[in-house]
Homo-oligomer: A and B are copies of this chain.
């Protein structure tokens, strides 16, 4: 266990939910329900004077009425009720309070901003640390603490700090559906007390966290932040998504988390100087997280692409090149090897290796990947699982399953990073259960289970690969 102050906050022995509720539509219900659902092993105290019992547990009128000690409080009470609640926390010796409660400085109203400052002073005086206000707080799978339904229960290696609760929630779904698991996730909203620097410092020294991901709208102390960032990025990859990059985004950030965003040019150059990696949106953040999560270090930009049909291979080449990867021509040694094996298309196939031309040649995407892995001219391999085949149900299912199986087999044998693009469509409810799209979902599930990162488009796979190339080049 580290000595960072967050270490204790993240491992509470007991949690009270102020403003707990029996109404399943409310957040006071959700926070209480999640503690049970995710298997929190400490004591759970629902607090609400209006209920004798909540979710089958005795409810307490106030925090003061709780019999045992309380380490951590989740506050779902209205803003005006926070000072009294905090006074109770102080009396009870509470160590940290997560203020889900919002409507403070982010409203732009003077009285709300003043109340926020009153609360900060009150907490400081009582020695209580605050997460928030205006945020979803903690998702800490190892402890059984969560702020959303359907999150993975098993822990992992990604630490996320996000200034947006909806963003944090969205990212947990985005990344976990692609196989990422989390060490700790902190949605921290207005960052009144504990802020992005604290979370970054914590993740930096947390042994469970191998990869740090952040969504930030504004930093409280730029100097401290970039010093923390430099230190963190020296030990593990740090991916940062900045919200409030332009004029309108800055305005929106101010009314979301009262964040004051500065010049984007300065920000970007400082992030790059610190050795961190910038993402443009939550999708790219997920692409990067998935890439670092599953891939070994990338040695260079020379890419081999296999598995697509003709048109998709042409566009894959364009998009890899446009992303800054080097789509080298198929090396002569591989051509000679194909020829010596009697593969009829030895002189025709290239890189990208168009899968639709194989015909009766006893030669698969997996075979090509193996050759590219052995060949010293390739640094990165990208496989394509596409939907664009004209065949019927049985032949398409057989081909998709065959490709997935061969990618998984090859993955175990090779040492170079392998990314797989699995095409996606905007499905309507009538298409949801059609075999054509289900076979793609099956492909994703199987590839992810084999620790292979999947990407919905070639452009996104290529851009993620390029950012890894740059990252590892800088590390050298």
Whether A311 is near chain B, meaning CB under 8 Å from some CB there, is yes
A426 to B442, CA, bound (A): 11
Select one of B24, B252, B350, B427 contacting A252, CB under 8 A.
B350
A222-250 interface mask toward B, CB cutoff 8 Å, 1 = contact, 0 = none? 00000000000000000001011111110
Select one of B103, B256, B315 contacting A313, CB under 8 A.
B256
Whether A415 is near chain B, meaning CB under 8 Å from some CB there, is no
Residues on the B chain within 8 Å of A248, using CB: 317-318, 320-321, 327-329, 351-352
Instruction: Verify B309–A166 contact, CB threshold 8 A.
Output: yes
Instruction: Verify B457–A442 contact, CB threshold 8 A.
Output: no
| Complex interface residues of chain A between 352 and 400 (CB less than 8 A to chain B) | 352, 354, 356-357, 359, 386-395
Instruction: Verify A251–B441 contact, CB threshold 8 A.
Output: no
Whether A283 is near chain B, meaning CB under 8 Å from some CB there, is yes
State which of A64-72, A122-130, A168-176 sits at the interface with chain B. A168-176
Q: Say yes or no: A150-B314 contact (C-beta < 8 A), given A27-B390, A164-B309, A320-B248.
A: no
Select one of B166, B280, B436 contacting A310, CB under 8 A.
B166
Instruction: Verify B444–A426 contact, CB threshold 8 A.
Output: yes
Whether A422 is near chain B, meaning CB under 8 Å from some CB there, is yes
Residues on the B chain within 8 Å of A388, using CB: 165-167, 169-170, 173
Instruction: Verify A392–B313 contact, CB threshold 8 A.
Output: no
Q: Say yes or no: A281-B319 contact (C-beta < 8 A), given A25-B392, A314-B253.
A: yes
Instruction: Verify A280–B459 contact, CB threshold 8 A.
Output: yes
| Complex interface residues of chain A between 163 and 212 (CB less than 8 A to chain B) | 163-170, 173-174, 177-178
A253 to chain B, nearest CB (A): 5
Instruction: Verify B441–A177 contact, CB threshold 8 A.
Output: no
A322 to B389, CA, bound (A): 36
A18 to chain B, nearest CB (A): 17
Whether A109 is near chain B, meaning CB under 8 Å from some CB there, is yes
Instruction: Verify A317–B249 contact, CB threshold 8 A.
Output: yes
A293-334 interface mask toward B, CB cutoff 8 Å, 1 = contact, 0 = none? 000000000000000111111111111111000011100000
Whether A425 is near chain B, meaning CB under 8 Å from some CB there, is yes
A43 to B253, CA, bound (A): 65
A220 to B27, CA, bound (A): 63
Whether A431 is near chain B, meaning CB under 8 Å from some CB there, is yes
Closest B residue to A179 by beta carbon equals B428
Residues on the B chain within 8 Å of A40, using CB: none
Instruction: Verify A390–B147 contact, CB threshold 8 A.
Output: yes
A320 to B354, CA, bound (A): 36
A215 to chain B, nearest CB (A): 6
Whether A448 is near chain B, meaning CB under 8 Å from some CB there, is yes
Whether A148 is near chain B, meaning CB under 8 Å from some CB there, is yes
A379 to chain B, nearest CB (A): 15
Residues on the B chain within 8 Å of A246, using CB: 317-318, 321-322, 327
Residues on the B chain within 8 Å of A349, using CB: 255
Q: Say yes or no: A430-B457 contact (C-beta < 8 A), given A169-B389, A347-B108, A347-B109.
A: no
Residues on the B chain within 8 Å of A429, using CB: 438, 441-442, 444-445
Closest B residue to A423 by beta carbon equals B170
Residues on the B chain within 8 Å of A390, using CB: 27, 30, 136, 147-148, 165-166, 169
Residues on the B chain within 8 Å of A33, using CB: 392
Q: Say yes or no: A165-B424 contact (C-beta < 8 A), given A170-B388, A387-B170.
A: no
Q: Say yes or no: A314-B426 contact (C-beta < 8 A), given A248-B320, A432-B441.
A: no
Select one of B166, B434, B441 contacting A150, CB under 8 A.
B434
A280 to B354, CA, bound (A): 20
Instruction: Verify B314–A243 contact, CB threshold 8 A.
Output: yes
Whether A419 is near chain B, meaning CB under 8 Å from some CB there, is no
Residues on the B chain within 8 Å of A148, using CB: 390
Residues on the B chain within 8 Å of A257, using CB: 310
Select one of B314, B426, B428 contacting A249, CB under 8 A.
B314
Instruction: Verify A426–B454 contact, CB threshold 8 A.
Output: yes
Whether A456 is near chain B, meaning CB under 8 Å from some CB there, is yes
Residues on the B chain within 8 Å of A163, using CB: 311
10 A–B contact pairs at CB < 8 A?
A: A166-B308, A166-B388, A169-B388, A170-B388, A173-B388, A246-B318, A248-B317, A256-B310, A429-B441, A431-B441
Further pairs besides A162-B311, A173-B388, A241-B315: 13, Cβ < 8 Å:
A148-B390, A149-B436, A165-B310, A165-B388, A166-B309, A170-B387, A174-B426, A215-B311, A243-B311, A249-B318, A252-B313, A426-B444, A432-B441
